[in-house]
Amino acid sequence: MKIVDLSVVLNKRNISLVPGHPAFDLQEIYSHEKNHVSSSFLQISTHTGTHVDAPYHFIKNGVTIDELPLEKLVGKAVLIDLRKVVSPRKGISADQAKESVGRKDIKDKIVILHSGWLKEKWGMSEMYLENPFILQEAANWLVSKEIRSVGLDFSLDNPDQGNLPMEKRFPIHRTFLEHGIPHIENLCNLELITRDEFFFVALPLKLYKSNGAPAGAIAIID
């Protein structure tokens, strides 16, 4: 059995923050030198690093992270390689999604979208400002395939939304979440997964009534 760690290392010197979210901080409050024990203080947004978005993130009456069934985040996964079709600030079309999926059965599976973007841009502002994204038609098609959840290494939505009213921003997030399809965002090491289908696990922190939470994610390959 091979286990691939899909979670980014949280390091305040090398981290990409969602624009507008508070800085990540990890400070030692007790040290071995002074206290003979090490303990730390952690400050983190629920959407920093590898994390899970619960429906409540954008849907007012949606399920919160502590209510989210783990069956949505643990189970059979299908890896979809998008590396040949993505480029900065370019949307992924339904035709490109269908061609990349091919004959793979994704119904009731955790769909993992691999763009290679995080590997190149993690720790840079471009991670969230120049990212490829999913077009509405592609999101609608994935929803129609009755997928269980979606994991990815890039941001779902077009980074250029400044001209839209707040209630209309992040339409792709809203499309998945309103259908009960959570996101596992900022996955890394996807290039180390050596097969199209594998067993996936993502376990978010169980934060009471939260919109999302940092998570540990792994791929288990038989």
CA–CA gap between residue 70 and residue 60 (Å, rounded): 21
> What are the tens digits of pLDDT across the range 49-104?
999 999 999 999 999 999 999 999 999 999 999 999 999 999 999 999 999 999 99
The pTM (predicted TM-score) of the whole model is 0.96
Average pLDDT over residues 103-108: 98
- Provide the residue ranges of all domains of the chain, joining segments of one domain with +: 2-9+47-221
Residue-level pLDDT at 166: 85
Confirm if 65 and 135 have CB atoms less than 8 A apart.
Answer: no
Which homologous superfamily is 2-9+47-221 in? Putative cyclase (3.50.30.50)
Percent of the chain with pLDDT over 90: 96
* Span 178-205, pLDDT tens digits: 999 999 999 999 999 999 999 999 999 9
Distance CA(152)–CA(61), nearest Å, equals 25
Q: What does the radius of gyration of the chain's CA atoms come to, in whole angstroms?
A: 17
Q: In the structure, what pLDDT confidence band is assigned to residue 3 with cuts at 50, 70 and 90?
A: very high
pLDDT at 12: 92
Polymer length of the chain:
222
